């Protein structure tokens, strides 16, 4: 198993990249969202990888973060979703947004992914309900919160704002996405967060 590849970014295609490492060029399929986070060609890069083996091919799938990789591995366990479908999901929504969508039974958000219809989205939610948890989201940002009093103080205001937006009819995924785009300080109130988030939601 190839856990990750470090090397020079040599080429960026529509849905894949080529990384040269020790004079070997590795073709790696990646999501559209990952393409947006790539460095410039010629710069060094590290990609976490998953080797997918089938009878007629061996394909490498790459991810900017280990969390992206772990969520991809969970997605391909869902009956009817292969690597291509899993990349489609991660091209449309982030791992954290997927966690919120699964927990909130948000079929609408998940079915926005290419090739994922309503029935497949419902199946995904059912099968991943116990595998994608908010604890994973908390762990991924835990290092940022630990020792940072400002983040601790603002967490309650954020949660109150998200709850209010959901009560207004927005999905939890939409609410979280809008709130995360705002610049929030320890003096920002839930009311101000809601106002700012509504402005963002109107432009989505």
The reported pLDDT for the residue numbered 155 is 66
CATH 1.10.8.10 in the chain: give the residue spans.
147-204
Class of the CATH-defined domain 67-140: mainly alpha
- Tell me which residue of 50, 57, 58 sits closest to 34, measured CA to CA: 50
Task: List where CATH 2.40.50.140 sits in the chain.
Answer: 4-64
**What pLDDT is stored for residue 129 in this prediction?**
85
Using the structure block, give the residue that is written with the tokens 């937006």.
Answer: 165
- pLDDT of 84 higher than 80: yes
CATH 1.10.150.20 location in the chain: 67-140
CA-CA distance, 30 to 28, in Å (whole number)? 6
Mind listing the pLDDT tens digit for each residue in 115-168? 899 999 999 999 998 887 655 554 444 433 333 444 444 567 887 888 888 878
What is d(CA 147, CA 137) in angstroms, rounded to the nearest whole number?
Answer: 18
Q: Which CATH architecture has domain 147-204?
A: Orthogonal Bundle (1.10)
Architecture of the domain defined by 4-64: Beta Barrel (2.40)
Q: What pLDDT does residue 203 have?
A: 78
DSSP states along 131-186: TS-HHHHHHHHHHHHTT-HHHHHHHHHHHHHHHHHHHTT--HHHHHHHHHTS---T
What is the longest distance spanned by two Cα atoms in the chain? 58
Q: Report the mean per-residue pLDDT for the chain.
A: 85
Average pLDDT of the residues in 41-50: 96
92 vs 96, higher pLDDT: 92
């Amino acid at each position: 198993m190839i856990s990750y590849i470090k090397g020079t970014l040599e080429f960026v295609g529509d849905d894949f990249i080529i990384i040269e490492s020790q004079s070997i060029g590795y073709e790696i399929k990646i999501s559209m969202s990952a393409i947006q986070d790539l460095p410039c060609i010629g710069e060094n890069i590290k990609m976490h990888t998953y080797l997918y083996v089938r009878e007629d091919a061996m394909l490498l799938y790459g991810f900017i973060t280990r969390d992206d990789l772990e969520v991809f591995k969970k997605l391909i366990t869902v009956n009817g979703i292969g690597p291509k479908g899993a990349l489609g999901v991660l091209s449309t929504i982030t791992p954290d947004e997927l966690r919120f969508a699964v927990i909130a039974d948000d079929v609408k958000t998940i079915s926005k992914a290419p090739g994922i219809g309503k029935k497949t989205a419902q199946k995904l939610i059912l099968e991943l309900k116990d595998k994608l948890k908010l604890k994973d989201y908390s762990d991924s940002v835990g290092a940022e919160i630990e020792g940072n009093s400002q983040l601790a103080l603002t967490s309650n205001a954020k949660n109150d704002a998200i709850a209010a937006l959901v009560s207004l009819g927005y999905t939890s995924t939409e609410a979280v996405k809008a709130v995360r785009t705002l610049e929030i300080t320890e003096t920002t109130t839930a009311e101000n967060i809601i106002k700012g988030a509504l402005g963002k939601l109107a432009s989505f």
